[in-house]
Amino acid sequence: MLEFLPKNVKDGLRRLNIERVYEIRLRADKPTTINYAGEYRYLSEYGLTEREENAVRCDMEEIANCVFRAGKYSVYSVEEQIKRGYLTAASGERIGLAGEYVFEKGQPLALRNFSSICIRVPHEVVGCGAQVYQRCMRDRIRNILIVSSPGLGKTTILRDLSRILSEKTKKNILVCDERGEISAGNMGNACDVLKFADKATAFEAGIRAMRPDIMITDELSAGDCNAIEKAIFAGVHVIASAHFSEMAHIREPFFGLFERYVVLDEREIGKIKGVFDENGRERG
């Protein structure tokens, strides 16, 4: 994991508990910062530092080399991902990209001159989905939407829920992993994976080809809800995530589509703040 990083960044990370590193941000000629146990800190070659001048720095060439290494030195093979502003490395590390977009006829043609990258480090936390299972699906499988701001553990919970449902129900599970993050860990023996397809394509092709009982996906947008609705009407249960910080912020087409809404606590990664039904009433 993270083998595509520059040597000075890897040297600093080796001094830390990687299980507590959630995010790494490289900005050209600026101090490297990491999210360590939920708090942003500077990274030096010797670990964490409070002093900006001691932090490791990377230039644009080093950042570009990170992207090339993460893409196995073939940017063309990951060109479609890069157009969308991200790249998924071999171990499921999602690399957000900032730089200069090139457009042709109003459509993004390429992203180049990378000036910053944001690396989200995947973690397998066995058992982190148990509370969602107990509170929402102990009696039967339901359609569930897990919501929070970015970086609070939604994807990790989805991965563990796949494992739990695989073990407890033996139902056929299809993970629609558009960014290649959910599948960076153990999802259970009854799980199949479709990677790097948009939700509409993955749901239509997946239902026809794999006959799933449960479909799991992450980071829904409003435009994805039509594909979700079709799957539910076809008798497939859907478990997904989306970016909403509060139950009150959820609007149509999300509201009423799912049977349970799990809102994560904004102050603590992976902690449930509340569970609500399809009418917005809080459940115990």
Q: What three-state secondary structure class fits 137?
A: coil
Q: Which long-range contacts (CB under 8 A, 24 or more apart) does 149-152 make?
A: 149/243, 149/245, 149/266, 150/243, 151/22, 151/23, 151/35, 151/120, 151/269, 152/264, 152/265, 152/266, 152/269, 152/270
Domain at 130-283, CATH from 3.30.460.10, 3.30.470.10, 3.40.640.10, 3.40.50.300: 3.40.50.300
Residue 164: per-residue pLDDT: 96
Give the sign of the dihedral formed by CA 11, CA 55, CA 70, CA 241: positive
What DSSP assignment string belongs to 158-208? HHHHHHHHHHHH---EEEEETTS-TTSS---TTEEEEES--HHHHHHHHHH
Q: What three-state secondary structure class fits 1?
A: coil
List the CATH code of the domain at 7-120.
3.30.450
Residue 76: per-residue pLDDT: 66
Each residue's pLDDT, cut to its tens digit, for the chain (284 residues) gives: 899 999 999 999 999 999 999 999 999 999 999 999 889 999 999 999 999 999 999 999 999 999 989 888 776 667 878 888 888 888 889 999 999 988 887 877 788 899 999 999 988 888 999 999 999 999 999 999 999 998 899 999 999 999 999 999 989 999 999 988 898 888 999 999 999 889 999 999 999 999 999 999 999 999 999 999 999 999 999 999 999 999 999 988 999 899 999 999 998 888 999 999 999 999 87
Contacts of 131 (CB under 8 A, 6+ apart): 272
Residue 185: per-residue pLDDT: 83
Residue 81: per-residue pLDDT: 83
Residue 277: per-residue pLDDT: 95
Give the sign of the dihedral formed by CA 58, CA 94, CA 121, CA 264: positive
